[in-house]
Structure 1
Amino acid sequence: MRVAIDHRTRYRFTEPQARVIQLLRLTPLDSIDQTVVNWHIGVDCDARLREARDGFGNRVTMLYCEGPLDSIEIAVEGEVLTAGEAGVVRGTVEPLPPEVYVRATDRTGVSRAMREFAGEGGDDRLARLHQINLALHHRFSCVEEHHDRGLTAEQAFAHDAVSPRDLAHMLVALARSEAIPARYVTGYLAGDEGAHAPHAWVEAHVDGLGWVAFDPCRGISADERHVRVAVALDAAGAAPVAGMRIGDGDERLDVEVQAEAMGAGE
């Protein structure tokens, strides 16, 4: 499938800023299942961009803007060819062993209520992951959320309507509680008419298959509609935009994403 993406992030400041520094995880990597046809990051002010890789193997772009700045817009445009084979992730950059992704973080702890909800599973790790993924999908309504409220998996579990980010944290937490390596994934979901924010899902490691992608927001494995951008232990490590500013006042953040399926890849 050919997926066209337009992702715009706008910051507006109540007071001029002397300097803005951003770390951008906005560029997907080539793998067996996706090929970046073209990709461009643009900024509406004088800026320096520097490419690098983080410890998880993600492509990152450091952005440096000197003020005074009343606002800044980061515009990402590109096209990606995607494929998919039952959610199996193939040909990705893997600088870390799967065991790293068993470690819990502050946002991926598991409460007693979560354990009771998940119940018990058998020895078939793949079947167990599908079971939990589908259970989360049926239990919660999935709603779009532009801003990260910083909820932990336990806190999100107390709500009826949660974001894709929250569902991903819950699935990661439950998988790790059973010693299954699991990581948080951020990217784009094509063809979802109501989506105007980046999407989130999970990859879990299964012996004999490797990493397998699950989307609890949809209740199925991730497929060719998903454009994979970054992975980490939780949302903080895979946030599309993170950084700092030097200046007084408050900021307003607006995010808009369009991910359109253009048809079969060529």
Structure 2
Amino acid sequence: MRLVVKHVTRYAYAHPIAHMVQQLRLTPQSGPGQTVVSWKIAADGYGSAAHYVDAYGNVVDLVSHRQALDAIEIAVEGIVETEERSGIFGDPPCPAPDLVFLRQTPLTRANAAIRRLGTLAAQDDPIAGFHELMHAIRDKVGYQTGVTEVHTSATEALAAGMGVCQDHAHIFIGAARSIGVPARYVSGYMLLADAQDSEAHHAWAEVKLPGLGWVGFDVSNGMCPTDRYIRLTTGLDARSAAPIRGVRGGGGPDETMRVDVSVLQDAQQVQQ
């Protein structure tokens, strides 16, 4: 499937900022299940950005602003060809060893309730076990925006019984790590059904399984990723895989952010 992505993030400040440094993890890579046909990022300061690959294999653009600005816009546009792989990403090289993905973070740390969920996946058939875990989390934590925020932990979301894709992924990851299975957070885009608004970024989890490599589970949608998904970043949790992170000086205490995302199937492909 050929998917077209348009993604614009706008920040506005009550007073001009004095300086800002942003890490942009907004460049998907070609690999199992996807081929990047074209991709372009437009942002203030992008022409002089530094570029590197982080510890999890994500492409990072380091953008800095030293002029007075009261608004910043980051625009992404691209085309990605995707392939149906039943959620199996496989085992392409990653700078971080598998043992790193056993490390719990403040956002994924398991309590007794999450460890009990983890036992559902501890089966002779790991695929069946992790499907059971995925559906159990979906039953316990209904999808609801506005209840949690970026700093909400897996234990807090489970206790609240509501959350979004970030929370679902954190609970799943915490449960998998609690039974000794490497797990990681994946952020990306998803083509939704007709008339549904795209999320700013969708998120799901992957676990490392013998003989298969990394396999994805999207708790929010109760399925493994398909050719309707585009991988963007990976990390230990939403913080390390965040597509945009930054620090600033000035601008006042209030920051307003607006995100517009469109993910569509290529019109020419649909007509064929």
TM-score bin, normalised by smaller chain: over 0.9
Partner of 2:201: 198
Residue 123, structure 1, aligned to residue 127, structure 2: no
Deviations 1:116-174 (A, max 9, x none): 455544232222111101222233222456x9430110001012321100000000000
Q: How far apart, in 2, do the equivalents of 1:248 and 1:231 lie?
A: 30
Q: How far apart, in 1, do the equivalents of 2:97 and 2:117 lie?
A: 29
Does the CA contact (< 8 Å) of 2:91 and 2:214 recur in 1?
no
The size of the alignment, in residue pairs, is 266
Q: How far apart, in 1, do the equivalents of 2:165 and 2:237 lie?
A: 12
Partner of 1:208: 211
Runs (4+) off by over 6 Å: none
Q: How far apart, in 1, do the equivalents of 2:45 and 2:15 lie?
A: 17
Q: How far apart, in 1, do the equivalents of 2:104 and 2:118 lie?
A: 17
Q: Alpha carbon RMSD of aligned pairs, Å?
A: 2.2
Partner of 2:61: 61
AA in 1 matched with 2:265: A
Aligned with 2:89: secondary structure?
A: coil
Aligned with 1:235: secondary structure?
A: coil
Residue 38, structure 1, aligned to residue 38, structure 2: yes
Residues 195 and 141 of structure 1, relative CA distance in 2, 3 Å threshold: farther
Partner of 1:253: 257
AA in 1 matched with 2:105: T
Partner of 1:163: 164
Aligned with 1:14: secondary structure?
A: strand
Residues 144 and 256 of structure 1, relative CA distance in 2, 3 Å threshold: farther
Where do 5+ consecutive residues of structure 1 fail to align? none
Q: How far apart, in 2, do the equivalents of 1:2 and 1:58 lie?
A: 22
Q: How far apart, in 1, do the equivalents of 2:82 and 2:212 lie?
A: 19
Question: Which has the higher mean CA deviation after the structures are superposed, 91-100 or 178-187?
Answer: 91-100
Aligned with 1:89: secondary structure?
A: strand
TM-score with structure 1 length normalisation?
A: 0.92
AA in 2 matched with 1:122: Q
Q: How far apart, in 1, do the equivalents of 2:34 and 2:251 lie?
A: 42
Counterparts of 1:54-203 in structure 2, within 5 Å, are 54-90=54-90, 92-117=92-117, 119-120=119-120, 121-144=122-145, 148-192=149-193, 193-203=196-206
Does the CA contact (< 8 Å) of 2:45 and 2:63 recur in 1?
no
Q: How far apart, in 2, do the equivalents of 1:200 and 1:76 lie?
A: 18
Residue 4, structure 1, aligned to residue 4, structure 2: yes
Q: How far apart, in 1, do the equivalents of 2:242 and 2:222 lie?
A: 23
Residues 18 and 131 of structure 1, relative CA distance in 2, 3 Å threshold: same
Partner of 2:242: 239
Aligned with 2:240: secondary structure?
A: helix
State the shift of 1:63 in Å.
1.0
Does the CA contact (< 8 Å) of 1:144 and 1:195 recur in 2?
no
Aligned with 1:26: secondary structure?
A: strand
Q: How far apart, in 2, do the equivalents of 1:160 and 1:14 lie?
A: 36
